Amino acid sequence: MRAVRLAQIGNSLKDQDVPIPQIGASDVLIGVAAAGICHSDAHYRAGISKIDNLPLTLGHEIAGRVEEVGSDVTHLSASDRVCVHYLISCGSCEFCVRGLEQFCRSGQMIGKNRDGGYAEFIKVPGANAFPLPDEIAFEIGAIMMCSSATVLHALNKARFKAGESLAIFGFGGLGFSALQLALAFDCGDVYVVEINPAKLAAAANMGTIAIDARTSDPVEQIKEATAGTGVDVALELIGSAKTIRQAVLCLGRLGRAALVGLTAESISIFPYPELINKEAEIIGVSDHLATELPMLIELARSGKLRFPPETLRVVDLDAPQINAALDSLQDSIDHVRTVIVPRV
């Protein structure tokens, strides 16, 4: 089969011919219909996130059709449409038994620790293949399993409830999903903090209160708009010390700031006035859980979670096209998602 693989850190991905994977009793073989190209893939290629086993087929945002089913897999049959949960866990370590499989002692990420979806076929454990309803296009089924799943996890970690107010820092792919999920959960007022005029306009059009961080301190703007109260939940999706601090400062009493964006910078917090006095919380968010995916899939099936067609771009399973898409992720702030659709 054709696969597009990383052979050397810092180099372009290469087209390679590799054997179709052999499945075991607990696996399924999936014919890849769509594979999202994610910012993390650019980081793997560049060596910013470490990859141990090379060569490796990248790609962790995957949807397709079941080709072959292992004898122990009972919930799927050949030709079923599926999307893939990219975290493979053992199911038996102390974290897995508590439903915290993102900390699995022997956990593996598809497309990082083992071959991913930039290929015609992929082998995954049956437990990682979730039925994909006909209403959800393969391209959407692929990309929602990463960014949308992670913001759903962030809202869950922040214990976001109906009627609560929300501040979203960063209105790219993650922020766009976060807003739709919050609306689906009957949120209160939503404040979107951005510096990009087009994104501010899009956020305002979707019924949020757009906070232009170029004009003045977004914390002051949110405080003023909430009559000094602050918000119940803040989602930080950018990953900079400045916006992380703003996400904490815009919280009201009992507010929760969920941090999703990655940064190596440190932040300073004044514990008494900024956290203790308000009983505010800062919550780290890492990946998502298999148990959250049925709800995510249902929100997409019912149309509450959408991805406008103009934000999706399609490329072939072809190394030059995929490398170009990864290059554009590295230097662009625009959040158009590129999806690989292998030609049959």
Name the residues that contact Zn ion, by CB under 5 A.
Answer: 38, 89-90, 93, 96, 104, 146
Q: Cβ closer to Zn ion: 111 or 218? A: 111
Beta-bridged to residue 32, according to DSSP, are 64
Burial of 223 (0-12, 13-18, 19+ CB in 10 A): middle
- The least CB distance from residue 81 to Zn ion, in Å, is 20
Tokens 């961080």 belong to which residue? Answer: 213
Q: Cβ closer to Zn ion: 3 or 104? A: 104
Q: Cβ closer to Zn ion: 105 or 161? A: 105
DSSP string, 279-294: T-EEEE--S--GGGHH
- The least CB distance from residue 70 to Zn ion, in Å, is 20
Any residues with CB less than 8 A from the CB of 338 and at least 6 apart, and which? Answer: 36, 37, 312, 313, 314, 315, 325, 328, 329
- The least CB distance from residue 337 to Zn ion, in Å, is 9
Q: Cβ closer to Zn ion: 27 or 41? A: 41
Q: Cβ closer to Zn ion: 36 or 255? A: 36
CB-closest chain residue to Zn ion = 38
The residue type of 107 is G
- The least CB distance from residue 58 to Zn ion, in Å, is 10
Q: Cβ closer to Zn ion: 149 or 211? A: 149
How far apart, in whole angstroms, are the C-alpha atoms of residue 78 and residue 132? Answer: 13
- The least CB distance from residue 143 to Zn ion, in Å, is 8
- The least CB distance from residue 4 to Zn ion, in Å, is 16
- The least CB distance from residue 112 to Zn ion, in Å, is 10
Q: Cβ closer to Zn ion: 58 or 222? A: 58
Shortest CA distance to 297 belongs to which of 150, 140, 153? 140
Characterize the bridge pairing of strands 190-194 and 166-169: parallel
In the chain, which ranges are E strands? 2-6, 14-17, 27-37, 56-57, 61-69, 81-84, 87-88, 108-109, 121-125, 129-131, 166-169, 190-194, 209-212, 231-236, 251-259, 281-284, 312-315, 337-340
